Amino acid sequence: MKYYVYTLGCKFNQYESAKIAAEFQKMGYTGGTANEADVVVINSCAVTKEAARKSLQMARHFKRINEKAKIIFTGCAVYDKRDIKDFDLVIGNGEKIKINDFVDKKGTFVDFSYHLKDDLNYTVEKIPNHTRAFLSVENGCNWSCAYCAIPHFRGTRIRSKQLDVVVKEATKMVENGVKEIVVTGINIALYNDGGNDLYTLLNALIGIDGDFRIRIGSIDPVSLLKLVKIFENPKLCPHAHLSVQSGSDEVLKRMKRRYTSRDVIECVNTLRKINPFFAFSVDVIAGFPQESEKEFGETYELLKELEVSRIHAFPFSRRSHTLADSMEGQVSTLVKKERTNRLRELGKMLENSFAEKTKTIEKTVLIEKVEDGVAEGLDEYYVRRFFKYEGKEGIFVKMGGKVVSDESLH
């Protein structure tokens, strides 16, 4: 029997997909393609309407190309679309990590209050076929940002994985050849295991023996400022995925975010004192209700001024169960699209500029793929590099303008 898991959305979803794959392997299944699998699992996303639409579209696509397969639909879109009946099995976020209990069933099994019982006590030893692994340490969010439906999908009760479990899980990952651990969660800033916060957790991970590096997932600027000192340790990548959302203080207020544009500036400037090339990829929402051209311009100019390394720009998406859904002054689809495109064009320019700026400094690239004498991999600044190379995959390579050393040569 063969399985195939297709994942949409966040790093937490990818982590849970690795757990799903591990459960299938325990049951004696082997991985296969979507065309040949006996069971196809779609781990969906619903952070925007487009994400939910695409999730359903992909599930129907797999159903068409593999009529014999059992189609299992799971993830956040299950909570967004409660009448899903097109597939053999529909299960919720609580059920999917126990997929072995449901794989032989048909119908819909969704506990909408699963987060009240969830204790985040499961682990993953490795992301299949990857030397980079996501390590989820926290689930749930109670910040109630005006645009966000994630608390509805994941719950407002904060669940933090026990610190000793996190360390054991990470240690096992390193033993299994993982070279980069990405610490993630629904809101990692809320991690708290009996007083052990995110700083304590990262410090514990640094203490693990082995040749690996640590990267943190999405985080807000105020919470990142509390972690500044730990980035002096070379095991921490000089890169953060910063949840900015807007560069306008008025928009941030309407979004009910817990920081200002000055906090973003302080965060960037402080970390660039540790490393002048510290990289920031950012999330930004274009066209939040009542956003004026002036407010949008403040966002555009802030990101340009800070020379962020990558921009993930999204048009505002109305989600039920959120305050922003009923706000007056909804921005037209045309304007949202135009502003999103402007941010994406800026993002391309800044990404190219950052890659060029860091071209000649020494970097460490994790080789993910080697094909026809060309290596591909991410460096510590989260820049994808390509260069001539004949060595092994899954190792670190030091490079400046060219490869300068390779651990496979030692």
CATH number at residue 28: 3.40.50.12160
* Helix ranges, 307-364 (H): 333-357
Residues 80 and 178 in one domain: no
Domain with 17, as residue range(s), is: 2-112
Residues 388 and 295 grouped into a single domain = no
The number of domains in the chain is 3
Does residue 231 lie within any of the structural domains? yes
CA 104 – CA 106 distance, rounded (Å): 7
Q: Could you tell me the sign of the dihedral formed by the alpha carbons of 317, 318, 319, 324, in that order? A: positive
Contact 355, 379 (CB under 8 A): no
CB of 91 within 8 A of CB of 110? yes
Residue 99 and residue 26 share a domain: yes
97-132 pLDDT, tens digit each? 999 999 999 999 999 888 898 888 889 987 766 789
- Exposed (0-12), middle (13-18) or buried (19+): which is 328, by Cβ within 10 Å? exposed
pLDDT at 129: 66
d(CA 30, CA 168): 26
User: Is the separation of the CB atoms in 382 and 350 below 8 Å?
Assistant: no
Residue 278 and residue 142 share a domain: yes
- Does pTM top 0.85 for this prediction? yes
Token duo for residue 15: 């982590």
122 assigned to some structural domain: no
Pure H helices in 104-148: none
CB of 103 closer than 8 Å to CB of 27: yes
Same domain, 165 and 184: yes
293-306 and 261-274 helices cross at what angle (nearest 10)? 10
Q: Dihedral of CA 154/155/158/161: which sign? A: negative
The verdict on 172 and 38 lying in the same domain is no
pLDDT of the residue at 401: 59
pLDDT tens string 279-298: 999 999 999 999 999 999 99
Check whether residue 239 and residue 353 sit in a common domain. Answer: yes
Local confidence band at 409 (pLDDT 50, 70, 90 cut-offs) = very low
As beta bridge partners, residue 347 has none
Q: Are residues 280 and 370 in the same domain?
A: no
